Homo-oligomer: A and B are copies of this chain.
């Protein structure tokens, strides 16, 4: 009778000698069906190997059981930690999480968003290539619950969860200044990235308010925030004339910092004595670097978890108000800036 087909509720109903509706009740409102019938239905299900068809469920019920996260860069562990936070929240809400990766390409991002719309996901979390791009407006217009992660977006057009990047820049450079450095490099880019601008701004603000010469805070732009670019920045740094060469570097993320660290050590520098390094994000590998990296910690999982909660609220709460959540970053001092003699 089933001839190969995967069994449907109808088959289960027939096998258990009840109606369709009862089978459905067993799955969705078990409390309304008598224990005896329920047991009979459940046995039939497992005997037939019944597996509910989610498409049909979703079509009829009109609601999907998935959240999606479109991450910016799959090679940066930071985003996986954020994803992990989202996943935990999704697990609590009994939802599945769909993870996509735009790899910093706007076109790919758009393809993913389009698919997600077609799937009618409950909500979309995204770290966008460009927070002001048109396809994000599109989502808002459609009323799809959306939260921007680790970026902000003009106006109150949607929720966002981020970290105070200006403050992050301030505490990084303040820390270096406290360690006695008088010439500091800031490494990162491209400055079209909002965060680059803000972290740099924070760095400049504190530098100025400490009464230092702006000339002594040297911005070293990079083309991306990768390990390779960090290495290349290190080479440029080494190429500077000794009297202009900084004794410390604030890297705008940990990948850059790891690259810089590697290049520096390879070139025979002692870290932190010849060159102190501060990173940003505090990814797992920061602490695990050969010279453990001082870094400005973002609460990565927390970021994801909070974002998921916002999107769920937007999805279920009719008088949801958009919120721009901002976390406070925090300096984690390790050996890359604090030499053993001084630090302990």
Contact = CB atoms under 8 A, between A and B. Distances in A.
Interface string A96-120: 1111110000000000101101111
Interface stretch (A72-80, A123-131, A240-248, A308-316): A72-80
Interface in A122-179: 142
Interface in A253-300: 258-259, 261-262, 265-266, 284-285, 288-292
Nearest to A264: B290
Interface residues of A, number: 48
A32 interface: no
Contacts of A237: none
27 contacts: A51-B117, A51-B118, A52-B118, A53-B59, A54-B119, A55-B55, A55-B56, A55-B58, A55-B64, A55-B119, A74-B80, A77-B77, A80-B80, A84-B101, A87-B101, A96-B98, A97-B100, A99-B99, A227-B285, A258-B285, A259-B288, A262-B288, A262-B289, A265-B291, A266-B292, A266-B335, A285-B285
A49 interface: yes
Contact of A291 (B75, B290, B292): B290
A58 B291 CA distance: 52
A31 to B, nearest CB: 22
A225 interface: no
A67 interface: no
A83 interface: yes
Nearest to A87: B101
Contact of A227 (B261, B265, B284): B284
A53 B101 CA distance: 22
Contacts of A335: 266
Contacts of A53: 59, 118, 120
A18 to B, nearest CB: 22
Contacts of A227: 284-285, 288
Contacts of A290: 261-262, 265, 289-291
A318 to B, nearest CB: 13
A81 B87 CA distance: 19
Given A265-B290, A291-B290, A59 B55 contact: yes
Given A74-B80, A96-B98, A97-B100, 19 more contacts: A51-B118, A52-B118, A54-B115, A54-B118, A55-B64, A55-B119, A55-B120, A74-B83, A74-B84, A75-B77, A75-B284, A84-B101, A87-B101, A96-B112, A96-B115, A262-B292, A265-B291, A266-B335, A290-B290
Contacts of A262: 288-290, 292
